[in-house]
Structure 1
Amino acid sequence: MASLKAVPLMAFLTAVMFLGEVRGYSKLYDNMDEYGGVQFLAFSFVTFLLFTDMCIYWIHRWLHHPLIYPLHKPHHLWKLPTPFASHAFHPLDGFAQSLPYHIYPYLFPLHKGMYLLLFVFVNLWSVGIHDNDYRLPGFLQPIINGAAHHTDHHLKFNYNYGQYFTLWDRLGGSYLHPSGYSGTGPHEQVKQHLARQNGGAKSNGNGVASKKSD
């Protein structure tokens, strides 16, 4: 329900930004050869991720300032996030964190097709870091800010603000090694709790059975 309430206003504000971009106020372009073809597309992909990751880190961290946090607090009602929580923001909060995606093509050349691809990608990424699926190749776990990192952000608030990478959390002193990678995450704790309950139920059952046989 929170997502359904937030999306219409966020979509309207996003459409306003898109309108300015396609009306010629941005540096979006159509012809791939204009800026060096495929090589520049690859360069744009990398720099877009690096630029937006840096900006979102600082916007997100600013949203945790005590004076601003009430705007961001609705998103943290989900201590264990779900894919639906990925868009469950106060509309101004959600739009503020999406601003870097729109600022980039106003500052730097970006192919329109690549921009569309990146816009789809960042939305899928946002869903992915809220889905509690921690699977990542071991060598990427210290680099990529995945679902395990973001789950701990929801639980502990002042850590792992990053969007794609752990770079800015490390530089900003807010990096926390995910509990999900250490076997102490919330899902592991739930499993252990259920195992203890089931073990207790079995032992109680045996105890009752032994009493009846006596």
Structure 2
Amino acid sequence: MDTILYYADNYVFDKLYAKIWPSCTKVVADTVISAWPRDDIWRINLSIYMITCFFGWTLYLTAATLSYFFVFDHDYMKHPKFLKGQVRMEIQCALGAIPWMTLFTLPLFVGEIKGKSMLYDGVPQTTYDWLYLILSVPSFLFFTDCGIYWFHRWMHHPKVYKYLHKLHHKWVIPTPYASHAFNPVDGFLQSLPYHLYAYMIPIHKYLYMGMFVFVNFWTVMIHDGAFISHSTVISTSAHHFVHHLYFNYNYGQYFTFWDKLGSSHRQPTEEQYDKSLRDDVKVMARQAHDAEEIENETLGIKPKSN
């Protein structure tokens, strides 16, 4: 993030802040300098906030839009649990949540700028350095998958679910635009393991930045409704569709390991892999009925007596 901030200051913020708050005494090469120095903590916070919101919105809209038009199976929009105007609601929810999630995450980003994290830079010099860099990838994925699993599972507790996670499960049949459509506190908690990793385990800052971009793309991909992979190890879009439909399964982000360990794994069936079954009206009706029953059970709503 410090590298991004450096270039943003050079090309955007120095000029912007000079216009908003010019210095009356400092002029360099006929250019007015801002009275707000680069190392001011409030300027850093504001700059990082604007950068993160901009890239958050851009990455989300770009990835989700490409996935929606080129990958997502639009026949799923015929499902009885697909809401009227859902795509618009997903986008509005996500665009509104990103600034709040950014605000909650801001102290962690600023801490990285101030050197409080365990991020490091430089070119690896030894075989050990390169090996550590390579192993940082599975280490990051394993650590964050564990954290997300437990945060996610905790938010399905009946006393927590309706306050934090219920909004995301409004999209029982999600599109790629649902990927970031969270309650902001929910979204922040599920992103927290990514940031904690950088404060607990050394990782190269450019690799960390790349993993952060990958995480956002992956979040879109598991909502893309294209059930190509039949993996029992990777938590695919089919696994995550089962999670949205049946709620109390498949909390993991990347792998099925923690779900299997926590007895919450549910392998997708031909209902997801076979398009003729996916589009079957009777299958859709049963799925809708089951989804309502399971969510009501999670919320503690008793079934109506006949």
Deviation (angstroms), 1:18? 1.1
What pairs with 1:113-192 in structure 2 (closer than 5 Å)? Answer: 113-136=206-229, 138=230, 141-179=231-269, 182-183=270-271, 188-192=276-280
1:27-68 CA-partner distances (Å, limit 9, x unpaired) = 100123378332111111110000000110000000000111
Q: Which runs of 5+ in 1 are unaligned?
A: 195-214
Task: Rate the CA distance shift 1:187–1:74 in 2: closer, same or farther, 3 A.
Answer: farther
Partner of 1:211: none
Partner of 1:212: none
- The count of aligned residue pairs is 189
Which residue identity is paired with 2:241? T
Partner of 1:101: 194
Q: TM-score normalised to the size of structure 1?
A: 0.83
1:116-157 CA-partner distances (Å, limit 9, x unpaired) = 000000000000001111112x5xx10000100000100000
- SS across alignment from 2:158: coil
Partner of 1:193: 281
How far apart in 2 are the matches of 1:187 and 1:89? 28
How far apart in 1 are the matches of 2:168 and 2:99? 16
Q: Which runs of 5+ in 2 are unaligned?
A: 1-91, 283-306
1:172-205 CA-partner distances (Å, limit 9, x unpaired) = 00000113xx2456964452339xxxxxxxxxxx
Question: Any conservation in 2 of the 1:32–1:111 contact (CA below 8 Å)?
Answer: no
How far apart in 2 are the matches of 1:190 and 1:146? 16
How far apart in 2 are the matches of 1:54 and 1:189? 33
Partner of 1:79: 172
Would you tell me which structure has more helix in proportion to its own residues? Answer: 1
- SS across alignment from 1:133: coil
- SS across alignment from 2:232: coil
Q: TM-score normalised to the size of structure 2?
A: 0.59
Structure 1 window deviating more from structure 2 (90-99 vs 2-11): it is 2-11
Pairing 1:63–2:151 present: no
Which residue identity is paired with 1:126? T
How far apart in 2 are the matches of 1:135 and 1:189? 15
- SS across alignment from 1:79: coil
The percentage of aligned residue pairs carrying the same residue is 49
Partner of 1:200: none
Which residue identity is paired with 2:171? W
- SS across alignment from 1:113: helix
Question: Any conservation in 2 of the 1:10–1:92 contact (CA below 8 Å)?
Answer: yes
